[in-house]
Amino acid sequence: MASPIYNSIWLAGGLAAALLWSCLADAGIVIQGSRVVYPAKDREVTVKMSNVSDQPSLVQAWVDKGNEKLTADKADGPFLITPPIARVEAKKGQALRLIYTGDDAASKKQETVFWLNVLDVPPMPKDKDANFLQVAVRSRLKIFYRPEGLPGTPADAAKGLHWSVAPSGAGYVLRVKNDAAYHVSLVTVQLVANGQTHTAKAEDLPLITPNSSVDIPLRTLTGQSVVGAKVDYQWVSDYGSLNKQEAAL
C-alpha cells in the first residue's frame, strides 16, 4: 500500500514565530456527498470529487476501521481504492473506485461502518524563497457497508428509535435504543417536558450503532418526571438530507 504523502497538517517554509507568511496555499478538493453507502451486492462504488481551486492538487485516499490516526501505509480498511493517489487538475474532477475485498471485517447481519480518508495536498508555491503555510487537508467520510437482506430500511431505523429518561450520576440522561440493523446519525435532539425544552449538545450526539443503546446527557434536566413529554430530533438520510422526527416517551 502506498505510503502517506503528508500528515493531516504539514507546516513548511521559513515561518516566523508569529506564523507570518506571504502566501497561503488553500485546499480545493470537494467530495460529492457526505457519506458513502456500499451495498454488499455491488462489485464497486464510485466516489466523485472535484477540484474547485485554480491550481492542481495531489490527492491520496485510504480506508480505515475507525482509527483516525492511521495513515495510508497502515490503513486497515478492507477496501481497494483506485487510484490510491491522483493528481486532480484545477476545475477538473476525479472518481475514486472503492472495491470491497471481502474479508471478515464486516458483519453479515447488520451494517458495518468504515471510514474513507481523502487527503488533499495543494502544490508548492512557485516562489521557493517565499515564506508560506502549506496545509494538507484530510476529509473523513463514513462508509456504510450494507449486507443484503437486512430487515426494514434505514429510514425505519431512524423513525423507530425508542426514547426514555434515566438517572445518571447526579443528573439525568436521555436514553435512545436502536433495535434495527442500520446505523442512525443524529444531528439535533430536544426533549420537551413540563413546558421546558432541553437541548442536547452537538458533541454529545453519537452515531447510534445497530442493536445498541446510547445515553445522551441533558445538562438542564433536573427531574425524571416527564409524563407526556416528547423528543424532537433530526437524522441524516443515505443522501445526506436532514429529516425531522417526533417521538413520545
* CA-closest candidate to residue 161, choices 184, 189, 188: 184
Cell numbers linked to 157: 431505523
Predicted local distance difference test score (pLDDT) of residue 243: 98
User: What percentage of the chain exceeds 70 in pLDDT?
Assistant: 86
Residues 26, 122: Cα–Cα separation, whole Å? 7
50 contacts: CB under 8 Å, gap ≥ 6: 29, 30, 32, 88, 91, 92, 93, 94
* pTM as predicted: 0.85
pLDDT in tens, 103-114: 776 889 999 999
Q: Which CATH number, 3.65.10.10, 2.60.40.10, 3.90.1150.10, 2.60.40.420, labels domain 23-146?
A: 2.60.40.10
User: Within the chain, which residue ranges are assigned CATH 2.60.40.10?
Assistant: 23-146, 154-248
Mean pLDDT in residue range 210-218 = 95
pLDDT in tens, 12-59: 333 322 233 333 345 589 999 999 999 999 999 999 999 999 999 999
Mean pLDDT in residue range 60-77 = 95
Predicted local distance difference test score (pLDDT) of residue 177: 98
Fold of 154-248: Immunoglobulin-like (2.60.40)
DSSP labels, 165-234: EEEETTEEEEEEEE-SSS-EEEEEEEEEETTEEEE--GGG--EE-TTEEEEEE-TT---S--TT-EEEEE
Mean pLDDT in residue range 85-90 = 96
Cell numbers linked to 58: 495531489
